[in-house]
Chains A and B, each alone.
Chain A
Amino acid sequence: MKHIFYSLKKFWPFTIKFYAIGFIILMSLVFGLLSWGMQYKLDTIRNDAVRQNRQAALDEIAYVIKHLIEDLKQSADSYAGQDETLQQFFNPVYYHYWRDNRILGANALPKYLKAVELYTPKGNSLVERTIGDMPRQLSAQDLGNFITRQGEENYLYIFYPITASYDRTDKLQGYIGFKLDILDALKKRQRYSFLNIDTLRLNIPEAEHIPLEQVSSHLEFDLIPNTENIALTASIERFLRQILLTMIVLYFIFYLMLSSILSAPLRRLSLHIDALRKGQGGLLAESYTRSLPVAELEKVRLSLNDYQGKLEEMHLNLNEKNDELWQLAHHDPLTGIYNRRGFEEDWKHMLSVSSGHRLGVALILFDCDHFKAINDTYGHPTGDSVLQAITHTLQNTLRHGDRLYRIGGDEFATLFLDVDNDLALHTAERCIEAVSQYDFTTLGINEPVRLSAGMAYATGTDVETLSSLPKQADIAMYHAKRPGKNKIAVYNPGMSENADILFSNSINSLIFQAMESDEYIEMHYQPITDLENGEALYYEALLRIRDGDNLIMPSTIFPIIEERRLEAEFDIIILSRIGKDLETGKIPAGKGISFNVSGPGVLDALVLEKINSLAAFLPQHTLIIEVTETALITQLHLASTILNELRQKGFKIALDDFGSGYSSLSYLSNMPVDCVKFDVSLIRQLFEDNRQSIIIENLAAMVIKAGYELVAEGVESEEILERIIKLGFKRGQGFLFGRPENNCRAAIKVPFIETSKINKAL
């Protein structure tokens, strides 16, 4: 039972067919039970009827026997009253004639009566020779009646006394005896309603005398089938069969109807809903109101269709929203080109399609130089316009079908498939050139707007190789961004080595060790020379980190520091070391010191506190704070305020690396700067025969004219020195005057200056 229950539970909830079959089985059981009950009742009635019929049959036999005896008695009385009979006792001369002709031959007796004999009062037969085995002598037991079997026949012997009434004493004259075939008599006496007379038989031992009164216990017979009962039983059984047949048909129709109008439509409905779930369905066209309408199903269908319609509408709206969202998610709203998400998905797609194929894949990253300065200087709307202009220019330059991505604020990327390295490089160069040729003055921008590009190229073989392209392009971009470098850098394994160093764990570890202990920190000082007399006016303090016998240069240190956002902490370390050098006299009295403060450091309270702590040395030393224009751009107003306060305390402010970045004149004019240091890139460009050199010359003139103390960086040759002197530069810094060293050595005497001094003196 438990097993069946658990087996059934597996099918839970049941299907309609299961319920239908269950209902049919239940009804069949009920019908079977009713049929059994009816059959049982019928059997009971039949058995009762058989019992009653048997009793009725016995009654019939008893009735017939009774009347048989009565008739025999009447016959006996009749014969007893006949003179002829009485005459036989008086004179039996013609007894045989009387018996054979007057009794047996008179056709007055039934044929089942086989013999008649007369007996004297003493029981002796009137004649010696009796017929039909009639006894010669009657015993006392015989003087009634008895049945005995002789062979296959059963005979009733019955004897009646014969009396004569003429003498008023009813004197016994003798006896008359009859022998009759009892079964034949019973058969011929009458028609039976209950007894099948043909089957009647007597079970009596041979020659045994059975009193007639006991005959019923020796009777064996079959009953006449009760036609009414049989007809009734047959009618009921036929009725049951008809009901059974009808029920089977009804069950079948019920099952078909249930399957047809409920189960099948529900199954189709279910399949339809499954299809809908899988996104394969539409509106359900089938109507449930055709042949056998089912209002609920039709309502479900209509509701489902309505729901489906609304769902499709919602789906459509959702698709539109998805498209819109996808558009928003994958496109840059400002420029309309793909964004970083779009790039990443395309990149993944490219990885999947290119892997295993030898296709040339090039990834080019573009970055707008000093875009933040543009943004801050001209405002975000102008910055946005610059980005749109760059986008437009790049799209026009790229081939049709090439995708351009804006992957950062001012970072763009494009991806080439199935190209060779030269074509990719040429396209990148055309892009750089196109942007450089764009007339940004239409946007109100006077400064040049440049792009740097880092390109990585690989012939796609496997995912790993291709996956390294973004990093390679980043490294290349880093190289391109480095001051004085070409604006386009194509990745090569050498870059990777530098990058490895740059980002190696040992460097990182060393930098962190330097932050913990200043024993790794070394400050080197490079002179800034007065170009009029060749003397060192002050020294720029430059950071070195000692790694055994090697020195790690700022170009390696600061990318990591910037990456780790450790600028302020390192500014404090550097300032502390400078303060120590000032304190210890490593920096001779009277010699000025310029030191670099990072952009975050300018705004950092601890750094400012450290700077202020150096103010104690101002009486003996000129202290110049060098900040890059990039550092100041972030929060120009606050930075300007802080720097002004420092200026008021006696510090001087120098704008470092001017020309390597944004180099905005309007920006410069708003800065509280005493000195401007032209970047080496600007200095180098002075020697190029193009408009750039003219602009730089005029720029220098303008800076000088504006009253700034102008310092030329990268003075490495007398040619440069001569040129900058001609341009009005008063200060110079470079290897020509001395490399950075760990002490403040005097500037190297430069012949040109010496000659100029002599000439002036003369």
Chain B
Amino acid sequence: MGSNENSSLSASLQKMKFALTRLAGRYTNRPLATVSLLCLFLPALSATAQTIEVKLPSGITAMADYHKGTTSLPTVLLLHGFLQTRQSQPMNSLASNLASRGYSVLSPTISLGINRRSQSMACEAVHTHTISDDTAEIAHWVSWLGKKGHKNIVLVGFSSTGNSQILQYISQGPHPEVKKTILTSFVPMFINLEERQKARRAHATKRQAGAGKIAKYSLGYCKHNFASTPESYLSYASFDPEKIFGLLKQSQVSTDIILGAEDFILPAPWLSQLKALKERIITIPGANHFFEGTAEFDLAEEVETVLKNLHYHSS
């Protein structure tokens, strides 16, 4: 695996500028709103993020933001949610907050099979990626951190996919420096069992025909429009609560769960099932699934608390 790192600050600012310009472009007819938006992102601009590009074995170039913090502090690897990017909330804010507090933060964008993916993927887009591909990328980025000399790596995942990817990665034998996993807004992925069954049959057929036919499935928030190969679909659809709980139980790394008290995405029995696992569950009052508003700072506080505890124990 070779890496092509563009870690200059100007590049980071350029990308930020690009993002802001794109956002501002939508408000060209609204100068006041544009100024307000720029002010909102001022903290982000102040962060010293580097864009890291690595070429995966598949030939795809994957990208990540990297904040080099204090080496004595744990390093955080943030994993975004389903089909999102590293700029998606709440991981983007969390990365800034943690970086501003001196933590080294790596926020990769899982490529999902897209070269230089920088945008969230639509449900309708062709999905050929599998959770194994994702896990390999995580392993790559963890390894990259390790090569950078980072110790005490904490994996922070968001929502069903990010968390499932962490669980899958952990289950495959994590990097030795991976000391902690934090599962935020930890929910199971919505799966239509009937669809999954059909997909499994189709996957069997594919294997026979040797062709990856695109079909539309329901997966997570993608309702009957997740265009993917059965293989791709099934890799995610296999993460039913049972598998999750199983992975969670088998996890060799300590795991904390942070949930929003107002996260209505959480299925009704889910919370009690989690509690039954006797994992540490932190609930942030007033926070929704995406920890929007001031909840992002609460989230950062809670993560930092976990990180501090980890640092304390490491020290």
Q: Chain A: residues with CB nearer than 8 A to chain B?
A: 81-84, 86-87, 90-91, 93-94, 97-98, 101-102, 106, 164-166, 168
Contacts and interface: CB of A to CB of B under 8 A. Distances in A.
Given A84-B125, A106-B124, A97 B214 contact: yes
A168 B124 CA distance: 29
A80 to B, nearest CB: 12
Given A83-B114, A101-B124, 19 more contacts: A83-B118, A83-B119, A83-B121, A84-B114, A84-B121, A84-B122, A84-B125, A86-B115, A86-B116, A90-B60, A93-B128, A94-B126, A94-B128, A94-B214, A97-B227, A98-B125, A102-B122, A106-B124, A165-B18
B172 interface: no
Given A97-B227, A165-B18, A168-B14, A83 B117 contact: yes
Interface centre among A81, A94, A98 (most CB of B within 10 A): A94
Contact of A83 (B14, B18, B116): B116
Interface string B15-31: 00010000000000000
Contacts of A164: 116
Contact of B119 (A82, A98, A168): A82
A274 to B, nearest CB: 95
A97 B115 contact: no
A570 B124 CA distance: 174
B124 A102 contact: yes
A76 B125 CA distance: 18
Interface in B102-123: 113-119, 121-122
A166 B116 contact: yes
A165 B6 CA distance: 14
Report the 4 A-B pairs with minimum CB-CB distance, sorted nearest first.
Answer: A94-B126, A90-B115, A83-B119, A83-B114
Contacts of A106: 124
Nearest to A95: B126
A86 B119 CA distance: 11
A83 B124 CA distance: 13
A90 B118 CA distance: 14
A166 B118 contact: yes
A98 B126 contact: yes
B119 A87 contact: no
Contact of B125 (A91, A102, A166): A102
Given A102-B124, A106-B124, A91 B227 contact: no
Contacts of B214: 94, 97
Contacts of B124: 101-102, 106
21 contacts: A81-B119, A82-B119, A83-B114, A83-B116, A83-B117, A84-B121, A84-B122, A86-B114, A86-B115, A87-B113, A87-B114, A87-B115, A90-B114, A93-B128, A97-B214, A98-B125, A101-B124, A101-B227, A102-B122, A102-B124, A165-B18
Measured as residues with beta carbon below 8 angstroms from the partner, the interface class of chain B is 10 to 19
Interface string B44-60: 00000000000000001
Interface in B38-76: 60
Given A84-B125, A97-B227, A165-B18, A91 B119 contact: no
A102 B122 CA distance: 10
A164 B63 CA distance: 15
Contacts of B14: 168
Contacts of A91: 115
Nearest to A84: B125
Contact of A97 (B117, B122, B126): B126
A98 B125 CA distance: 7
Contacts of A90: 60, 114-115
Contacts of A166: 116, 118
A86 B113 CA distance: 12
Contacts of A97: 126, 214, 227
B127 to A, nearest CB: 10
A99 to B, nearest CB: 11
A82 B125 CA distance: 11
Central interface residue in B11, B113, B125, by most chain A CB within 10 Å: B125
Contacts of A81: 119
A91 B112 CA distance: 13
B225 to A, nearest CB: 10
A154 B30 CA distance: 39
A598 B223 CA distance: 178
A364 B280 CA distance: 187
Q: Among A82, A83, A164, A168, find the residue whose CB has the most chain B CB atoms closer than 10 A.
A: A83
Contacts of A165: 18
Contacts of A101: 124, 227
Nearest to B60: A90
Contacts of B119: 81-83
A94 B121 CA distance: 15
Contacts of B114: 83-84, 86-87, 90
Interface string B242-285: 00000000000000000000000000000000000000000000
A94 B126 CA distance: 7
Nearest to A106: B124
A432 to B, nearest CB: 153
Please indicate which of the listed interface residues B18, B60, B126 has the most CB atoms of chain A within 10 Å of its own CB.
Answer: B126
A730 to B, nearest CB: 180
Contacts of B122: 84, 102
Interface string B119-140: 1011011101000000000000
Nearest to B22: A81
Interface string B61-103: 0000000000000000000000000000000000000000000
Contacts of A102: 122, 124-126
B208 to A, nearest CB: 19
B303 to A, nearest CB: 29
Contacts of B118: 83, 166
Contacts of A84: 114, 121-122, 125-126
Interface string B200-231: 00000000000000100000000000010000
A168 B14 CA distance: 10
B3 to A, nearest CB: 15
A97 B216 CA distance: 12
Contacts of B116: 83, 86, 164, 166
